[in-house]
Amino acid sequence: MGRLLTSLAGALALALVAPAMASAQDAAQGRAVFQANCAVCHQATSNGRSMIGPNLFGIVGRRAASMAGFAYSAALQHSGITWTNDELLAYVQAPARIVPGNRMPYAGLHNPQQAAALVAYLATLH
């Protein structure tokens, strides 16, 4: 009985820790995706400036087109989006489909695992 309880406790601990480990791994992969696909236009640092695109630090939970000092498209300004993980995931995969008329010249990140990793990374930036 003691071994069974120890095994169950170990399995429970692994089940609780594994999602956090996977999330950290996803975020690390997402940082690489960001560097390869987004960093040419966006910064993602706490005191970063806007470049061709706005600084993405703290994007999760922020209302779309709300960063002061960046000239957003009318389409994004009127989108009504608040950037949740799900909204970001959809947007990074197909920006023109999610917000028709936006000015971001990016066709989208078509690899779902890379898109999810990118969002996991962006979610760590707060």
Tokens of 73: 């498209």
- Hey, what amino acid is at 102? N
Each residue's pLDDT expressed in tens, for the chain with a length of 126 residues: 544 433 444 444 434 433 444 578 899 999 999 999 999 999 999 999 999 999 999 999 999 999 999 999 999 999 999 999 999 999 999 999 999 999 999 999 999 999 999 999 999 999
What integer pLDDT is reported at residue 24 of this predicted model? 80
For residues 57 and 123, the answer to whether their CB atoms sit within 8 Å is no
Q: Is the pTM of this model over 0.85?
A: no
Kindly list the structural domains of the chain, giving each domain's residue range(s) and its CATH number in brackets, ordered by start.
27-123 (1.10.760.10)
Q: Give backbone dihedrals phi and psi of 115, rounded to 5 degrees, phi first.
A: -60, -45
pLDDT of residue 25: 86
- Nearest alpha carbon to residue 122 among 17, 25, 34: 34
